[in-house]
Copies of this chain bind each other. A is one copy, B any other.
Amino acid sequence: MKDDEKQDPLHETVGVNPDSTLFEDLESGILRVTSVGASVEGSIGRLLSAWRHALIGRPIATAQELNQRLSKVQALPILASDNMSSSAYATEQIVRVLAIAGAGALSLTLPITFALVGVLAIVVLSYSQITRAYPAGGGSYAAARENLGVVPGLVAAASVLVDYVLTVAVSVAAGVEALTSVAPQLFGYRVVLAILIITVLVIGNLRGVRESGTLFSAPTYIYVLSLLGLLAYGLYRFMSGTLPTFVPPPGWTPEVTTSLSFLLILRAFSSGAVALTGVEAVADGIRVLKPPETRNANIILFWMAGLFGMLFLGVSFLASHVGLVPDPTEQETLISQLARLLVGGGWFHLLIQVATALILFLAANTAFVGFPRLSSILARDRFFPNQFLLLGDRLALSTGIITVGILAGLFVVMFGGSVAALIPLYTIGVFVAFTLSQAGMVRHWRRVKGKGWHVRMLLNGLGMVVTGFVALEAVTVKFSHGAWIVFILIPLIVLLMLAIRRHYVHLAHELRLRRLPSLERVTQPHMVFVPVEDLNRPVIDALAYALRLSTEVRAVHVTYDVASAERLRKRWEEWTKDIVLIVIEAPYRHWTSALLSYLDSVSKQNPNVLLTVVIPEFIPRHWWEHLLHSQGAMRLKLALLSRQNVVVVDVPYRLKM
């Protein structure tokens, strides 16, 4: 029966010289797909790739990866905008807490700012150690996992991931809030607007980090330069003794509700600790930088901290010296008050306002770099699905980018686009991760020792205590306002990551072959079934293919209507005696169940027989014509995937019309 291949001089007739437009034939015997070959698709793939190209551009070859990396000047605005943006509100956060103890307490603003900049310096220094120790990226996850163990590492990772998602949700919601305060008629559409902006960020980042960098970097530089200009002008006025004094409008005298206590100072300190957010992103995003990556990352870290420190200290210094009192109605920000006092309400004031609004918006973009990079590191370590490692058409980590977009969108929808509702969830994750990474570094110095390790350990210990305190403070204050959600999410994510790793480890173990078997002739008996709807062309093709596989072929006809089945059987018996036709009546109209039941019966009685189901499938020419058929073949194939020892053969019959 099956000896036709013997007579057939197949080796001579079948020659394969891959088409030179689709392949380059490399000397080593490897075929390399050309860009033309890479765009060969199925009919559905063609449709999808046309859309993909229109949205995110033409594919880039893997070898171009290094060319897509960012210089320091390009990377700074992407990796630092989250951190820099906090200079727009950090001073105000401190001032607002102190103000409840009276105007006199405001003199503590500058010392607290100095203390925070000091902590930032410790954190940045230890992150520069982390980037050196883990040049592949991973930040606090890498530091905690290496020095404290897997679970602390995963807690740090989960905390950072949650915070990345919240960074996007909060930043975009805040940006939309700024927009709707100018155009109140858009208020009803704030969720839709936020989703739209997240979509733009997703598409921008799918186009590649290079393009999104170019797209989104200008606002960061404009913000930094205009604010630095304002501060320089203020300093000049201070030096020349012409610094104006802020006169609070009547009724603005802050209501003294409490006396100045150590606790209040601590609270002001932890409110200002938003200054520390965004440091993690540099350590995670290290691989988007041109080599030498670690050196460049550290230069960016120091530039970021330096610029941020200047802005933060400058604003706090001037605000203290002009005697600013925060607007009790919260209609004007402290930065705006300061600018108006120094330069009046003209174009420069407007520039600062617009730049501030834009940088708050773009803080989200940092998370679109950080989340996918950290996810890919977790995927490399098997804690995240494989897909997070795949590079998209533009070498971006598409899965991570789309995931952070979708999750942030969900948060925005669930919280109705309200910044006030989202804020309590925010920044907790980052401080949990900081504490863990500082603790990891303390352990690191104890183990590694080296020059001056006592001082380094002491500094990281101080960092751990301070960031741990901020984390604790944030939790106690915000827990009942929604922060509990984060405390449910983090352990869930950790458990999920452990389950994912368990799956992959088991899988690798189960698939691995210790000894490669020899490819002998297979003698397992073989039975072939062909589901038959009618005697038509696709069915004949499938039966012919089935007869290639085995002499034991059975056609199975499932019917809802016995009369029509009898007609088919009569026609069948006139046609052939070679293949038996089994007729099954399905009174409950479950076509696949009837076939599965039959196959189950067969395999139960013949456990060592290999079963093959040959499915005749006709394929319409246009995808929409699939809608006109009930996809029985597709459903059967899906159902058969769950059966032991059943091979599925799809004999397609393509329609010409």
Contact = CB atoms under 8 A, between A and B. Distances in A.
Contacts of A598: 18, 22-23, 31
A452 B493 CA distance: 81
Given A59-B590, A544-B522, A10 B628 contact: no
8 contacts: A14-B525, A15-B605, A504-B628, A507-B620, A511-B653, A513-B535, A516-B535, A517-B540
Query: Which A-B residue pairs are the 6 nearest by beta carbons?
Result: A42-B639, A2-B2, A38-B588, A37-B597, A61-B587, A42-B642
Nearest to A655: B510
Contacts of A11: 552
A650 interface: yes
A657 B525 CA distance: 27
A503 B624 CA distance: 11
A538 interface: yes
Given A519-B579, A544-B519, A38 B4 contact: no
A19 interface: yes
A401 to B, nearest CB: 16
B42 A587 contact: no
A330 interface: no
Interface in A530-581: 535-538, 540, 543-545, 547-552, 560, 562, 565-566, 571, 575-576, 578-579
Contacts of A183: none
B10 A575 contact: no
A527 interface: yes
Contacts of A507: 618, 620, 655, 657
A582 interface: yes
B503 A587 contact: no
Given A604-B19, A628-B385, A646-B652, A33 B584 contact: yes
Interface in A26-75: 26, 28-33, 35, 37-45, 59-63
Contacts of A31: 582-585, 598
Contact of A386 (B40, B41, B630, B649): B630
A510 B510 CA distance: 47
Interface stretch (A310-318, A387-395, A443-451): A387-395
A212 interface: no
B506 A522 contact: no
Given A385-B628, A504-B628, A513-B536, 4 more contacts: A32-B587, A391-B589, A500-B628, A507-B657
A281 to B, nearest CB: 26
B5 A552 contact: yes
Contacts of A550: 5, 10
Contacts of A500: 628
A60 B586 CA distance: 11
Interface string A123-153: 0000000000000000000000000000000
Nearest to A9: B525
A608 B476 CA distance: 75
A603 to B, nearest CB: 10
A63 B589 CA distance: 11
A239 interface: no
B650 A601 contact: no
Contact of A537 (B511, B629, B648): B511
A127 to B, nearest CB: 30
A558 to B, nearest CB: 8
Contacts of A582: 31
B652 A649 contact: no
Contact of A10 (B13, B527, B579): B527
A585 B26 contact: yes
A312 B157 CA distance: 72
Nearest to A625: B503
A466 interface: no
B35 A588 contact: yes
